């Protein structure tokens, strides 16, 4: 049975199944959707995922639209290295951190990202075209999110609160990684894949909070993942400058590798 993945850049939710499939060595048909052209709200894609959210994976006749459970499905279904630890407590920890990334860290980080990147990029186009694009979004919650991003409706308080949460979550993650080599313990897992997609550009977007002095364990963890062949392969699929941000994780070639 073939696998088709509908995705945007290797970043956030799209990058989670991309990197998981690459780690497992699963060949898949890549269908790139341009988020800024609203490809995900066009009829061709709505026929695949009526909610109009990305990513979506099609395996045989089945469609998967929730990115974190999708990662577990990929690990459960395909041969290749196991990406979930055997120990139930380590598995629980992996899932706990994935939820923390998905539901606490990512929404605040993406609010900042949308306000400075996606909103301004999309506002190059006429407002009536943007409004028409918003009107086509199937889920009300996504319509609200896009309206805020496209018309710059984030309040100063909301953005300040998001910045506070990003700092708070960064410090919690640093604390965790100071006691644990990987998210779930001794072995690389889906938790690291999830966290990497969230955090690979933190040293660039939050340089005062995420750097070698303040968060050495996060920096080392990000670099270790960046050096994996599957991460190189996946980020090479990026088509915009967004994916190129990953270069911030390049070690100084003159310095010895840790």
Partner 1 sequence: MLKLYTSEPNTFFFKPLIALAEKNAQYTTHYFDATNFEQFAPDFPSDLESGLQLEREGPLLVHGETIISSTSFMLEYISESLPGPSLVPGDSYDAYTLRAWAQYLGAQLGSIVPVLGCAKYLKPHLASLDPATVDRHIAAIEPIERRAGWLALRDGTYSPGYLKTVNERLAAPIARVEKALQDGRWLAGPAFSAADIDAYPMLCVLPDLAPATVNQHSTPRIMEYLARMAARDSVREALRTAKTPHPEQQFVPGIEASRWG
Continuous H helices in 115-213: 119-122, 127-135, 140-150, 156-179, 190-199, 202-205
Query: Any contact of residue 64 with partner 1 (CB under 8 A)?
Result: yes
- CB of residue 39 to partner 1, shortest distance in Å: 21
Binding part of the chain for partner 1, among 19-27, 168-176, 216-224, 236-244 by CB under 8 A, reads 168-176
Q: Which is nearer to partner 1, 118 or 237 (CB)?
A: 118
For residues 17 and 197, give the distance between their C-alpha atoms in angstroms, rounded to a whole number.
10
Q: What phi and psi, each to the nearest 5 degrees, are found at residue 8?
A: -105, -145
Among 1, 2, 47, 62, binds partner 1 (CB under 8 A): 62
Selected range binding partner 1 among 4-12, 20-28, 69-77, 215-223, rule: CB under 8 A: 69-77
Query: Considering the rule CB under 8 A, would residue 91 count as an interface residue with partner 1?
Result: yes
Distances (CA, A) of 210 to 134, 148, 168, 169, 258: 34, 27, 11, 11, 18
Is residue 237 classed exposed, middle or buried when 0-12, 13-18 and 19+ CB atoms within 10 A define those classes? middle
Q: Is 258 exposed, middle or buried (0-12, 13-18, 19+ CB in 10 A)?
A: exposed
Q: Which is nearer to partner 1, 82 or 247 (CB)?
A: 82
* 144 binds partner 1 per the rule CB under 8 A: yes
Residue from 39, 48, 66, 167 that binds partner 1 (CB under 8 A)?
66
The two tokens of residue 216 are 């050495």
Binding of residue 116 to partner 1 (CB under 8 A): no
- Using CB under 8 A as the criterion, which residues of the chain lie in contact with partner 1 when the complex forms? 62, 64-66, 68-70, 72-73, 76-77, 88-89, 91-93, 95-97, 99-100, 102-104, 107-108, 111, 140-141, 144-145, 148, 158, 161-162, 168, 172, 175-176
């Amino acid at each position: 049975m073939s696998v088709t993945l509908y995705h945007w850049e290797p970043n956030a939710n799209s990058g989670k199944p991309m990197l998981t499939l690459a780690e497992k060595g699963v060949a898949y048909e890549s269908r790139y959707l341009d988020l800024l052209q609203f490809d995900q709200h066009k009829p061709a894609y709505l026929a695949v995922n009526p909610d109009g959210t990305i990513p979506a994976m099609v395996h045989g006749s089945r469609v998967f639209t929730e990115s974190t459970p999708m990662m577990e499905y990929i690990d459960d279904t395909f041969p290749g290295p196991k990406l979930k630890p055997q120990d139930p407590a380590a598995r629980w920890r992996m899932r706990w951190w994935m939820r923390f990334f998905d539901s606490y860290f990512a929404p605040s980080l993406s609010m900042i990202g949308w306000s400075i990147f996606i909103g301004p990029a999309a506002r190059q186009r006429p407002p009536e075209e943007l409004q028409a694009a918003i009107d086509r979004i199937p889920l009300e919650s996504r319509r609200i999110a896009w309206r805020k991003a496209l018309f710059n409706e984030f309040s100063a308080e909301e953005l300040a609160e998001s910045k506070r949460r990003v700092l708070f979550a960064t410090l919690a993650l640093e604390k965790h990684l100071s006691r644990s080599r990987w998210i779930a313990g001794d072995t690389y897992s889906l938790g690291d894949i999830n966290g990497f997609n969230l955090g690979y550009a933190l040293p660039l977007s939050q340089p005062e909070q995420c750097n070698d002095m303040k968060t050495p364990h996060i920096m080392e963890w990000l670099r270790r993942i960046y050096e994996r062949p599957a991460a190189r392969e996946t980020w090479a699929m990026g088509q915009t400058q967004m994916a190129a941000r990953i270069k911030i994780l390049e070690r100084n070639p003159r310095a010895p590798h840790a």
